[in-house]
């Protein structure tokens, strides 16, 4: 810093320079007797933190010259100049050591009896925990860390002691009593006033050793009171010796006694300045009012978000700088619009972040009650006067809160909405004189918590009013909108505002994307140019007699015709290739002779290569000539040592004879295992409708949606409904699982340690909502920007407890986007694929943007390779410890140079990687993407092994190539490809129920096992039973730091679930409702914990699936007719049992009942139908529950016995579900429940037809 | 179709579907390494989540004092003699002490993962550090996969505790998964009929299902699902569910097992009799001491009640199994994710320690000598016969006659069931 003129008045400056020169130049001893008079203080040490060399040395990790940060600045602090720097002291990582002169120091820093000690500094606290004592300055007491003079040798120390919202000042020294053989004693003084926890403040301490009443401590020019609370005041002098003077940390240099914050203009003098002078030291010009009435739109609440000017401290900022604003109707906040960065990915706001809500509100004259509620610290002002305040959030009690603490709650009358967990209340009576009043609510969200932060949450930040004469509360409103502050009022308000926030977010993302339009337009242009250069794939002519709705059907029909030709040969032979030959080759040969890395370069899984043979033996199969076919030679017993297979049981004589005969007959090798070539007709309308709903939005159609479809013209209704559904936001819900699985999204709500990622689900979801083009989607993913813990793609970069996270991610990226399987290459060269470990590490290094050293834990030790005594299957060609530089390992798809022209930032290897993967030249990417869409909609990929294109060949190479080009032509719009597929005859054909898998020629599809998500979402959506699970968090009152606990919100669809993080196995850390749904989903192949990517889920039937549907908790919720269940409403409204059965079938199964069903169910429901309804007057009144907030279990109290009991009660309540409705007679209701049970256990919920 | 083959095909229950393919593969990769082969048929795995303090239970040391200043590290309780001369447990394990000849406290288990519950729990269940390229199966799933259920009409693997990925089948898939129940009252999820559904109503419901099921084409995939459904509904009936009915046991016996944890152990014994292969029983009850086995701070104060509960249940289980001639074919394991140091924390509890801790093996036809492995004077380091987590799991596998080097397959990738674990040879006659 530069010397501020106010700080050193002109008449003193000369003197200061003089003494400085003197103290540096001379080592002459200065004793107390020689001390200047008290009006002429002599500076002995002065740190201004402007880079100049001063007495003492920076120490610690941060102390190497980078300890300078922004200091107090004009205009707020007029004594300083622009660009002024201060010293930053982070915990124990930075401090200053000044050696005693006797130990080589340049200045005398001892103070003896009679010396006047004067210390002053500007100080700004970053963090200090209540009760913690941190040293600003201390000479002596360093023990072995100093020069080993013991620890009772504190010449002097000025310390801060953390208190609520600020710090007390402490002055400490060790006295020595010559009269008592040099007896030493501690003397400690502690201030009553505090230094505020935020902003710059000035502190000075004056004390003349030997004069017990001489201590004067000033904070911001004001003398503060205090007491000598240890050892009392004394006339004794201090211990002086050769120990060090240390600034910024204490006698053990531990975090607990280290100062965290900034210091500037720290001065130590012998002799003090004039007291009058001292009262001018602190100058501060408050910022102009941040908001005034003129700024507020009439009848609205102006909400201002300040991310700048908010120090990282749990303290009110002096001058928060507004960075964003929006308006609200009333003083009710629960969430902010998201912050988006880059091309529109979720970012983190500054933490803490300051929010101010202001409005001009007409409050009638009278004495009203006012409530302030918030999660963060908050303050409420009316007409400039602070009315209410809520404190900063408490620290993590590590589970030791008690349930009984919740007995203490604020209840302000009937219907009063209790504070939800983790919110604090303050209220008062307020007398208004009537008319317009200027109301300001400010709150801080987030905040410091040790080395981490609180989650930045608003909770329920509300100002509510109960006017004089009323018992009721409403949210304070400046305009017409009135929101009753009751549970129902709030829920409706929050739901409506949620929709508005979502819309604001969507708009904000679009704006961010628009900022990057120039680059993406360039990409589009490059793609168009590429299209003009490549030979377009021509659409084959439609063979006669085949139906077609679009080009896809041409390709499909063309292939069928070809396959028919192939099959003719095969049918004339006596050996069945698919039944007899291939299984044999699969069992005996494929182990080594399949895929891209076949042994001896011999692939026996493909016709062409089998004919050609490998590198040694010549043709493997010579049709018609077994004697020339090396396959036969190598498997016959005559082969001796060369016999195949080398280790397993040899082929039997019968097997050899079979293969010989097969070759003799011409070795027919049809590509498809198809005997019949008849094609299924189009599915019926309702069957199609259910399928297309499940495939696009993940749930079946409602009765209304069915009617809408049926009201459309017959010839266009299918196209129309496809278009409607592609516009539906539920599309995003339905397609989540694909990406969560493939990208191994694996958040943990508690202490992430099991290869966890951040919850980048929210970015995925928004990408699907926005229908981001595939190339942009992949680019955003690979840039890994934005929020790590709250839903940005940065969360993808995380792999907790993984030795090379980027290698794990590289493996995911290569499989998902390029069809290159690299799982094995994670630790060694792949046995079945061509990828080497180095390839994966090069890819990883591109993602890391730096070279990666291969850790030993990412390799297989050689002794392990040999352990079993067999020839190792795996090879290690990358030494542990090797350094792998970023490089593009897939030149077969595109040359690395292409990145230089295509990447937005060619300097960034992540951008380069994104460009190389998504470049139009790289048709592998386009084809992999369309293949994924195809597989999902058609039940079978054109390449069936989605993530490993080495393993299988495409069934329809031309169609695949055409679709790949089409994706480029459609600007990488995945919905456009989906639309094509959905409109094809191939997609719309009826299912052949007897197929176990979809025909490779797509003549017909097999019944498709629905995903766990589809099953759960469909059941809830169709029945209208409430999907009511807990907030997905084990820290609902938000006491933990954001690294250890997050919330995944209140799930409304199945994809929003995740691992329940229940490794601790504690009943009090369970979410029984989430658990019930998760247990059901897991039986259907969903995984809560996704430690690795999955491209094909398990789909085989097992006993637990139907068991848990039939008898499990979710089954109870779905069948139990409560007042909240929408079939209850249906049952009350229908006119006849027939109508009920009809409508149930339509609603649940999207079809009409057949005769047997109709008869059976109508008969069952007929009895008692007429008087099924209990007259309202006869229904038992619900018991009036005590008006009290529901108790909750969370991390904060989970070790408490009663909390544990509550958790087990909650489990029981979850098992029981909602109480049954009283509107229906019990017996009849139970019958209806039985019918619903039967319908819900039909296979139609499990398999799509 | 015969029930046995059906159950194998529809999965979950037996896991035996894979036996034939395993056999094929095993023949392809002959193992050279020798392994001792035990003859146990069942395993009951008692899980003490939180981290049992070995110095306060099975590996007592000189007594400490948390009220001294400074605190003196050591065991919390006095130690007592056991049935094995020279072997001592703490005083709260008096009943188990009498049965010490039937068990082996492995005092030298150790690992070096960070002291975090989830991570260590995962390690002790799977024997492996997570890799990110696969999800490893738990030992319960591996054993079910390798050996199927003893009785093919019941599930191979039952969990009394909460589901989590560490207990799950990983890449083996749901066939090797568990049926779970969270307490002995509510019964197994999916098989206990909901309240208000008695067998008559269940029958009516199943009759209503018939017209819907009749639409399903025979020999189709949905028809396979229907078969599984019929089996599920059978299991919800008395033939299977009676195994969970503890009231069929005598009041005396029930009482001898103690509280809910004991009742779970008793249920485990019944499930052994029913032919279940592997039962994991969680001791996660009531938080009597506030923290369960995770005895930080004040959690230490009532730790003895937990130990006592363990002692009662464990000794009752071992005696009961022995009396029913099941002890030799049932391996009982007391397992935990890590131990705790002899030193006290600020409020007189204990932190975490992975470098040396105790787990217990009992019954299973092993040659028990009371203890194996030795730790130093404060049980901080292993000084004799260290046993890694893979070694410990290898010992369990070997006791059940499973080769610890056996490969299981993650797709095409062979994964040995232990990470080079070696069984404790001394335990095998």
Closest A-chain CA to B219: A994
Q: According to the model, what pLDDT value does residue A15 have?
A: 33
Structure tokens, A149: 């003079």
Tell me which of B221, B284, B418 to substitute to probe the interface with A (most A C-beta atoms closer than 10 Å): B221
Q: Which of A311, A453, A495, A462 is nearest to A1038 (CA)?
A: A453
A-chain residues within 8 Å CB-CB of B286?
1201, 1204-1205
Q: According to the model, what pLDDT value does residue A18 have?
A: 35
A-chain residues within 8 Å CB-CB of B191?
1107, 1111
Q: What is the pLDDT of residues A17-36, one digit of tens each?
A: 333 333 333 333 333 333 44
pLDDT: is B413 or B392 the higher one? B392
Q: How far apart are CA A821 and CA A813, in angstroms?
A: 9
Residue A111 has pLDDT above 90, yes or no: yes
Distance from the A995 Cα atom to the nearest Cα atom in chain B, whole angstroms: 7
Q: What's the average model confidence in pLDDT over A789-793?
A: 97
Please report which helix (H) or strand (E) contains residue A444, including its range: strand A436-445
Of B130, B211, B224, the CB nearest to A755: B130
What pTM was computed for the model?
0.86
Structure tokens, A456: 């930045």
- Alpha-carbon distances of A292 from A388, A437, A438, rounded to whole Å: 20, 12, 9
Distance from the B344 Cα atom to the nearest Cα atom in chain A, whole angstroms: 18
Residue A8 has pLDDT above 60, yes or no: no
Q: How far apart are CA A120 and CA A220, in angstroms?
A: 11
Query: A541: pLDDT confidence band, cut at 50, 70 and 90?
Result: very high
Q: How far apart are CA A103 and CA A146, in angstroms?
A: 11
Q: CB contacts < 8 Å between A and B, how many?
A: 287
Q: How far apart are CA A1007 and CA A987, in angstroms?
A: 13
A-chain residues within 8 Å CB-CB of B192?
1111
C-alpha A431 chain-centroid distance: 46
Asked if A1017 and A699 count as a contact pair (C-beta separation under 8 A), the reply is: yes
Structure tokens, A488: 């129902």
Residue A1037 has pLDDT above 90, yes or no: yes
Residue A587 has pLDDT above 90, yes or no: no
Distance from the A803 Cα atom to the nearest Cα atom in chain B, whole angstroms: 8
Would you say how long chain B is, in residues?
Answer: 429
Q: According to the model, what pLDDT value does residue A736 have?
A: 98
Residue A37 has pLDDT above 80, yes or no: no
Burial of A1034 (0-12, 13-18, 19+ CB in 10 A): buried
Asked if A166 and A187 count as a contact pair (C-beta separation under 8 A), the reply is: no
Of A799, A857, A1102, the CB nearest to B11: A1102
Distance from the B388 Cα atom to the nearest Cα atom in chain A, whole angstroms: 17
B-chain residues within 8 Å CB-CB of A1207?
none
Contacts of residue A1161, defined as CB under 8 A and 6 or more positions apart, other chains included, come to: A1137, A1141, A1144, A1153, A1235, B208
Q: Which of B243, B177, B410, B281 is nearest to A1103 (CA)?
A: B177
Q: What is the pLDDT of residues A113-168, one digit of tens each?
A: 999 999 999 999 988 888 889 999 999 998 888 888 888 999 999 999 998 778 99
Burial of A375 (0-12, 13-18, 19+ CB in 10 A): buried
Per the rule left: phi > 0, alpha: psi between -120 and 50, beta: everything else, B197 is: beta
For residue A418, count other CB atoms closer than 10 A to its CB: 18
Please, what sign has the CA dihedral across residues B321, B322, B326, B332? positive
Burial of A873 (0-12, 13-18, 19+ CB in 10 A): middle
Burial of A117 (0-12, 13-18, 19+ CB in 10 A): buried
pLDDT: is A585 or B253 the higher one? B253
Residue A840 has pLDDT above 90, yes or no: yes
Q: Is the peptide bond before B70 cis (omega within 30 degrees of 0)?
A: yes
Share of chain A above pLDDT 70, in %: 96
C-alpha A1085 chain-centroid distance: 23
Contacts of residue A465, defined as CB under 8 A and 6 or more positions apart, other chains included, come to: A363, A368, A369, A370, A371, A473, A474, A475, A476
Q: What's the average model confidence in pLDDT over A85-106?
A: 88
Share of chain B above pLDDT 90, in %: 82
Q: According to the model, what pLDDT value does residue A289 have?
A: 72
Residue A751 and residue B118: Cβ atoms within 8 Å? yes
A-chain residues within 8 Å CB-CB of B296?
398
Note the ipTM here. 0.91
Asked if A42 and A316 count as a contact pair (C-beta separation under 8 A), the reply is: no
A-chain residues within 8 Å CB-CB of B30?
870
Q: According to the model, what pLDDT value does residue A59 have?
A: 85
Among the residues of A972-1046, which ranges form H helices?
A: 974-983, 985-988, 1012-1023
Residue B408 has pLDDT above 60, yes or no: yes
pLDDT: is A57 or A1136 the higher one? A1136
Q: What is the pLDDT of residues A627-638, one digit of tens each?
A: 888 888 888 888
Strands (E) across B29-133 are located at 42-47, 79-81, 88-90, 103-110
A-chain residues within 8 Å CB-CB of B131?
755, 802, 826-827, 1091-1092
Residue with tokens 């396979």: B224
Residue A1164 and residue B208: Cβ atoms within 8 Å? yes
Structure tokens, A701: 């159609």
pLDDT: is A1 or B219 the higher one? B219
Structure tokens, B366: 């092993």
Q: What's the average model confidence in pLDDT over A482-510?
A: 98
Distance from the B422 Cα atom to the nearest Cα atom in chain A, whole angstroms: 12
Q: Which of B423, B392, B417, B401 is nearest to B37 (CA)?
A: B401
Terminal CA-to-CA distance of chain B, rounded, Å? 42
Residue B3 has pLDDT above 80, yes or no: no
Closest B-chain CA to A1211: B182
Coil, strand, or helix at residue A372? Answer: strand
Burial of A1024 (0-12, 13-18, 19+ CB in 10 A): middle
Tell me which of B141, B161, B181, B212 to substitute to probe the interface with A (most A C-beta atoms closer than 10 Å): B212
Q: According to the model, what pLDDT value does residue B376 have?
A: 97
Q: According to the model, what pLDDT value does residue B134 have?
A: 92
DSSP A134-183: EEEEEES--GGGTTS--SS--SEEEEEEEETTEEEEEEEEEEEEGGGTTE
Q: Which of A1029, A1015, A1185, A1216 is nearest to A1122 (CA)?
A: A1216
Query: A1210: pLDDT confidence band, cut at 50, 70 and 90?
Result: very high
Distance from the B213 Cα atom to the nearest Cα atom in chain A, whole angstroms: 7
Residue B132 and residue A648: Cβ atoms within 8 Å? no
Structure tokens, A180: 């008592």
Q: What is the pLDDT of residues A1057-1070, one digit of tens each?
A: 999 988 888 999 99
Query: A375: pLDDT confidence band, cut at 50, 70 and 90?
Result: very high
A-chain residues within 8 Å CB-CB of B13?
1103
Query: A12: pLDDT confidence band, cut at 50, 70 and 90?
Result: very low
Of A649, A1006, A1234, the CB nearest to B208: A1234
> Helix B139-147 to helix B389-399 angle, to the nearest 10 degrees?
30
Q: What is the pLDDT of residues A682-726, one digit of tens each?
A: 999 999 999 999 999 999 999 999 999 999 999 999 999 999 999
Q: Which of B91, B106, B99 is nearest to B60 (CA)?
A: B91
Q: What is the mean pLDDT of chain A?
A: 91
Q: According to the model, what pLDDT value does residue B28 have?
A: 38
Q: How far apart are CA A776 and CA A766, in angstroms?
A: 13
Coil, strand, or helix at residue A83? Answer: coil
Q: What is the pLDDT of residues A911-959, one digit of tens each?
A: 999 999 999 999 999 999 999 999 999 999 999 999 999 988 999 999 9
B-chain residues within 8 Å CB-CB of A1070?
162
Query: Could you tell me what percentage of chain B is helix, strand and coil, using 3-state DSSP and rounding each to the nearest 5?
Result: 40, 15, 45
Q: Which of B179, B284, B222, B194 is nearest to A1101 (CA)?
A: B222
b/e code A386-409 from CB counts within 10 Å (16+ = b):
ebbebebbeebeebbbbbeebeee
pLDDT: is A1249 or B375 the higher one? B375
Residue A872 has pLDDT above 70, yes or no: no
């Amino acid at each position: 810093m530069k010397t501020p003129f106010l700080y050193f008045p002109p008449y003193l400056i000369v003197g200061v320079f003089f003494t400085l020169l003197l103290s540096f130049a001379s080592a002459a001893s200065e004793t107390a007797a020689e001390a200047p008079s008290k009006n002429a203080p002599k500076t002995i040490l002065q740190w201004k933190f402007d880079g100049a060399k001063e007495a003492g040395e920076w120490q610690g990790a941060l102390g190497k010259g980078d300890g300078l940060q922004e200091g107090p600045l004009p205009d707020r602090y007029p004594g300083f100049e622009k660009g002024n720097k201060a010293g930053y002291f982070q915990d124990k990582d930075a401090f200053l050591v000044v050696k005693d002169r006797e130990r080589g120091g340049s200045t005398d820093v001892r103070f003896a009896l009679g010396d006047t000690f004067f210390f002053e500094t500007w100080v700004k606290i970053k963090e200090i925990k209540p009760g913690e004592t941190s040293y600003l300055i201390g000479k002596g007491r360093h023990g072995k860390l100093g020069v080993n003079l013991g620890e009772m040798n504190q010449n002097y120390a000025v310390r801060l002691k953390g208190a609520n919202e600020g710090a007390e000042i402490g002055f400490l020294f060790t006295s020595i009593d010559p009269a008592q053989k040099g007896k030493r004693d501690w003397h400690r003084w502690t201030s009553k006033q505090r230094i505020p926890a935020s902003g710059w403040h000035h502190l000075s301490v004056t004390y003349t050793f030997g004069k017990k009443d001489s201590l004067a401590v000033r904070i911001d020019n004001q003398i503060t009171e205090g007491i000598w609370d240890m050892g009392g005041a004394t006339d004794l002098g201090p211990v002086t010796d050769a120990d060090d003077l240390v600034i910024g940390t204490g006698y053990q240099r531990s975090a607990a006694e280290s100062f965290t914050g900034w210091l500037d203009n720290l001065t130590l003098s012998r002799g003090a300045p004039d007291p009058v002078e001292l009262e001018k030291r602190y100058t501060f010009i408050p910022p102009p009012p941040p908001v005034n009435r003129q700024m507020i739109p009439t009848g609205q609440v102006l909400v201002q978000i300040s991310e700048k000017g908010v120090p990282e401290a749990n303290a009110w900022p002096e001058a928060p700088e507004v960075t964003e604003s929006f308006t609200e109707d009333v003083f009710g906040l629960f969430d902010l619009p998201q912050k988006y960065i880059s091309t529109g990915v979720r970012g983190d706001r500054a933490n803490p972040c300051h929010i101010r809500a202001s409005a001009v509100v007409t409050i009638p004259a009278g004495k009203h009650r006012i409530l302030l509620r918030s999660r963060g610290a908050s303050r409420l002002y009316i007409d400039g006067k602070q009315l209410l305040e809520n404190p900063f959030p408490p620290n993590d009690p590590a589970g030791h809160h008690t349930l009984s603490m919740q007995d203490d709650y604020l209840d302000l009358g009937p219907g009063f909405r209790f504070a939800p967990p983790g919110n604090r209340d303050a209220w008062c009576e307020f007398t208004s004189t009537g008319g317009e009043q200027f109301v300001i609510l400010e709150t801080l969200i987030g905040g410091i918590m040790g080395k981490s932060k609180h989650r930045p949450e608003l909770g329920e930040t509300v100002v509510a009013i109960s006017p004089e004469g009323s018992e009721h509360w409403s949210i304070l409103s400046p305009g017409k909108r009135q929101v009753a502050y009751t549970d129902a009022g709030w829920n409706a308000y929050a739901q409506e505002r949620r929709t508005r926030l979502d819309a604001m977010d969507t708009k904000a993302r679009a704006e961010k994307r628009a900022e990057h339009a120039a680059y993406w337009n360039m990409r589009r242009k490059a793609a168009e140019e590429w299209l003009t250069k490549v030979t377009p794939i021509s659409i084959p002519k439609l063979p006669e007699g085949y139906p077609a709705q679009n080009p896809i059907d041409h390709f499909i029909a063309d292939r069928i015709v070809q396959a028919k030709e192939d099959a003719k040969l095969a049918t004339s032979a006596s050996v069945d290739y698919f039944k007899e030959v291939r299984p044999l080759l699969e069992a005996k040969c494929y182990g080594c002779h399949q895929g891209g890395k076949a042994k001896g370069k011999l692939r026996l899984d493909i016709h062409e290569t089998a004919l050609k043979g490998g590198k040694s033996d010549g043709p493997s199969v010579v049709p018609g000539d077994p004697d020339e076919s090396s396959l036969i030679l190598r498997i016959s017993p005559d082969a001796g040592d060369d016999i195949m297979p080398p280790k397993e049981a040899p082929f039997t004589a019968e097997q050899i004879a079979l293969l010989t005969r097969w070759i003799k007959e011409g070795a027919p090798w049809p590509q498809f295992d198809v005997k019949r070539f008849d094609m299924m007709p189009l599915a019926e309308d309702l069957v199609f409708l259910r399928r297309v709903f499940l495939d696009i939005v993940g749930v079946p159609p409602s009765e209304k949606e069915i009617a809408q479809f049926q009201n459309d013209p017959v010839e266009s209704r299918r196209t129309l409904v496809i278009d409607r559904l592609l516009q539906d936001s539920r599309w995003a819900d339905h397609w989540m699982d694909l990406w969560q699985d493939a990208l191994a999204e694996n958040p943990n709500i508690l202490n992430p340690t099991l290869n966890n990622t951040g919850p980048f689900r929210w970015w995925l979801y928004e990408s699907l909502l926005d229908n981001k083009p595939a190339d942009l989607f992949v680019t955003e993913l690979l840039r890994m920007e934005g929020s790590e813990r709250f839903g940005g793609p940065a969360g993808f970069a995380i792999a907790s407890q993984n030795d090379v996270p980027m290698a794990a991610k590289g493996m995911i990226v290569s499989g998902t986007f390029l069809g290159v399987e690299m799982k094995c290459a994670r630790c060694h060269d792949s046995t079945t694929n061509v990828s080497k470990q180095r390839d994966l590490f090069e890819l990883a290094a591109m993602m890391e943007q730096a070279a990666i050293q291969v850790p030993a834990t990412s390799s297989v030790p050689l002794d392990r390779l040999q352990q079993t005594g067999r020839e190792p299957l795996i090879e290690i060609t990358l030494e542990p410890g090797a350094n792998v530089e970023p490089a593009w390992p897939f030149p077969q798809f595109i040359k690395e140079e292409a990145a230089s022209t295509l990447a937005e930032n060619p300097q960034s290897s992540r951008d380069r990687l994104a460009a190389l993967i998504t470049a139009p030249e790289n048709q592998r990417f386009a084809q992999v993407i369309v293949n994924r869409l195809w597989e999902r909609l058609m039940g079978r990929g054109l390449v069936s092994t989605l993530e490993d294109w080495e393993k299988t060949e495409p069934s329809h190479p031309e169609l695949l190539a055409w679709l790949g080009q089409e994706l480029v032509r459609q600007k990488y719009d995945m919905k456009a490809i989906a639309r094509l597929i959905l409109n094809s005859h191939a997609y719309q054909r009826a299912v052949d129920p007897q197929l176990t898998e979809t025909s490779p020629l797509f003549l017909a599809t097999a019944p498709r096992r629905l995903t766990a998500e589809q099953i759960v979402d469909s059941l809830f959506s169709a029945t209208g039973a409430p999907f009511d699970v807990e907030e997905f968090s084990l820290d609902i009152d938000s006491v933990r730091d954001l690294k250890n606990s997050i919330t995944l919100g209140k799930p409304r669809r199945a994809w929003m679930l995740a691992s329940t993080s229940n490794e601790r196995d504690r009943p009090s850390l369970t979410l029984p409702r989430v658990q019930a749904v998760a247990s059901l989903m897991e039986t259907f192949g969903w995984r809560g914990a996704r430690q690795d990517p999955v491209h094909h889920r398990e789909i085989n039937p097992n006993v637990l699936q139907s068991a848990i549907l039939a008898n499990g908790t979710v089954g109870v919720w779905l069948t139990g007719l409560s007042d909240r269940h929408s079939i209850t409403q249906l049952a009350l409204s229908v006119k006849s049992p027939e109508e009920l059965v009809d409508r149930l079938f339509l609603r649940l199964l999207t079809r009409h009942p057949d005769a047997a069903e109709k008869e059976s169910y109508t008969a069952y429901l007929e009895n008692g139908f007429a008087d099924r309804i209990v007259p309202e007057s006869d229904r038992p009144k619900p018991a009036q529950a005590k008006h009290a907030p529901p108790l909750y279990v969370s991390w904060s109290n989970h070790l408490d016995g009663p909390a544990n009991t509550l958790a087990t009660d909650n489990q029981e309540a979850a098992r029981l579900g909602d109480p049954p409705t009283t509107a229906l007679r019990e017996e009849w209701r139970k019958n209806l429940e039985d019918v619903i049970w039967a319908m819900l256990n039909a296979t139609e919920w499990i398999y799509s037809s | 179709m015969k029930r046995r083959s059906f159950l194998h095909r529809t999965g979950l229950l037996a896991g035996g579907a894979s036996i034939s393919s395993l056999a094929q593969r095993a023949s392809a990769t002959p193992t050279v390494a020798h392994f001792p082969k035990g003859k146990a048929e069942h395993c009951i795995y008692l899980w003490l989540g939180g981290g049992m303090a070995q110095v306060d239970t099975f590996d007592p040391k000189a007594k400490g004092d948390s009220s001294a200043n400074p605190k003196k590290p050591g065991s919390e309780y006095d130690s007592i003699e056991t049935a094995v001369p020279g072997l001592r447990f703490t005083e709260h394990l008096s009943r188990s002490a009498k049965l010490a000849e039937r068990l082996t406290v492995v005092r030298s288990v150790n690992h070096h993962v960070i002291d975090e519950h989830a991570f260590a729990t995962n390690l002790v269940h799977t024997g492996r550090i997570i890799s990110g390229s696969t999800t490893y199966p738990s030992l319960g799933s591996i054993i079910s996969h390798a050996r199927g259920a003893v009785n093919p009409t019941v599930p191979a693997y039952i969990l009394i505790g909460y589901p989590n990925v560490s207990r799950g089948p990983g890449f083996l898939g749901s066939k090797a998964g568990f049926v779970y129940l969270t307490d002995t009252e509510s019964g197994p999820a999916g098989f206990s009929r909901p309240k208000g559904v008695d067998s008559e109503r269940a029958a009516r419901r199943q009759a209503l299902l018939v017209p819907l099921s009749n639409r399903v084409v025979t020999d189709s995939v949905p028809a396979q699902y229907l078969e599984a459904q019929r089996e599920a509904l059978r299991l919800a009936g008395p033939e299977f569910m009676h195994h969970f009915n503890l009231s069929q046991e005598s009041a005396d016996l029930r009482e001898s097992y103690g509280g809910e944890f004991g009742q779970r152990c008793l249920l485990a014994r019944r499930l052994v009799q029913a032919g279940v292969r592997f039962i994991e029983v969680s001791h996660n009850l009531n938080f009597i001491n506030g923290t369960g086995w995770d005895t930080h701070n004040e959690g230490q104060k009532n730790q003895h009640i937990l130990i006592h509960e363990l002692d009662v249940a464990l000794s009752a289980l071992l005696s009961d199994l022995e009396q029913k001639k099941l002890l030799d074919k049932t391996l009982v394991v007391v397992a935990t994710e890590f131990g705790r140091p002899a030193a006290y924390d600020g409020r007189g509890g204990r932190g975490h320690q992975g470098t040396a801790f105790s787990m217990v093996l009992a019954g299973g036809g092993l040659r028990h000598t009371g203890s194996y492995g030795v730790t130093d004077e404060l049980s901080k380091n292993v000084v004799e016969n260290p046993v890694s987590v893979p070694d410990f799991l290898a010992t369990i596998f070997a006791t059940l006659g499973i080769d610890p080097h056996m490969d299981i397959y993650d797709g095409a990738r062979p994964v040995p069931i232990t990470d080079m674990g070696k069984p404790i040879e001394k335990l095998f006659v």
